[in-house]
Amino acid sequence: MPKLFALVLAAGQGTRIGDSVPKQYIPVAGKPMMFHSIEALAAVARVERLFVVLAPLDRHWGEHDWSALPDKIEALFCGGARRSESVLNALKFLEARIARDDWVMVHDAARPCILTELIEQFLDEIGDDPVGGLLAVPLADTLKRGDENQRVAETIPRRDLWRAQTPQMFRYEMLRRGIEKKPDATDEAEAVQSIGYNAPKLVQGEDSNIKVTFAEDIQLAELILNMHGKIEL
């Protein structure tokens, strides 16, 4: 049976958040931001091993205590300057340990509010899908395309539009081939589509699975974690 491996991408610098340490290490509810997503993924029994993809010169990982997490977690100091490079570097590094048909599930360290229950649901719905898929949320807002003068140039119908989230999950060989062909892909689904797999499965996620981008998002993440019963404010 194919095995399931997880990558948590944590090699970025997160400059937009305006902090002196990389975003993934900023405290959220008293722990490094990425602790929460690592904990949620590691709690999934189907995950064989979880790899945290860090920058090659990361000096912060060793400064924190990760002993509360399961021992199936392993740090890889091979991250790149952008998302796709981090994924590809990790896949190359692990090529002797992951079979071509094994599943690789990729999640952002900056999405600390993911629930283990949602990950389990995601895996159940993907099942043995011939392509793989991703968590996503149907778009609820009306979209406007602006012109160079910040005037509305067009209203874009939101029907069938989704906001992509993570995790995203595909077979090892498929994902590697996709990123090698389209290294500028903004997510794994786009990379896989570049090699002809045009219909990754959309699994409905949750609005609470936010991506922390700006400083104000940290307080929102803590409120969500409190709502989920993960912390007490």
Report pLDDT digits (tens) over 28-82.
Answer: 999 999 999 999 999 999 999 999 999 999 999 999 999 999 999 999 999 999 9
- Residue 28 is assigned to a structural domain of this protein: yes
pLDDT recorded at residue 99: 98
- Other Cβ atoms closer than 10 A to 192: 28
> Which residue segment(s) compose the domain that 177 sits in?
4-130+164-198+206-227
With bands split at pLDDT 50, 70 and 90, how would you rate the model's confidence at 198? confident
Paired tokens of 137:
């949320």
Burial string for 153-183 (b: 16+ CB within 10 Å, else e) reads eeeeeeeeeeebbbbbbbbbbbbbbbbeebe
- Residue 59 is assigned to a structural domain of this protein: yes
- Residue 136 is assigned to a structural domain of this protein: no
30-34, Cβ contacts within 8 angstroms, sequence gap of 24 or more: 30/231, 32/60, 32/64, 33/109, 33/110, 33/112, 33/212, 33/218, 33/221, 34/8, 34/10, 34/109, 34/110, 34/112
- Residue 147 is assigned to a structural domain of this protein: no
Backbone angles phi, psi at 180, to 5 degrees: -65, -35
- Residue 156 is assigned to a structural domain of this protein: no
- Residue 63 is assigned to a structural domain of this protein: yes
The domain spanning residue 32 has which CATH number?
3.90.550.10
d(CA 38, CA 95): 22
Read off the pLDDT of residues 169-185 as tens digits, 9 standing for 90 and up.
Answer: 999 999 999 999 999 99
With bands split at pLDDT 50, 70 and 90, how would you rate the model's confidence at 113? very high
For 135, the 3-state DSSP assignment is strand
pLDDT at position 233 over 60:
no
* DSSP summary character for residue 157: P
- Residue 76 is assigned to a structural domain of this protein: yes
Q: How many domains does the chain have?
A: 1
- Residue 135 is assigned to a structural domain of this protein: no
pLDDT at position 19 over 90:
no
pLDDT at position 209 over 60:
yes
For 118, the 3-state DSSP assignment is helix
With bands split at pLDDT 50, 70 and 90, how would you rate the model's confidence at 15? low
pLDDT recorded at residue 186: 96
For 32, the 3-state DSSP assignment is strand
- Judged by average pLDDT, the poorest of 97-101, 164-168, 185-189, 211-215 is 211-215
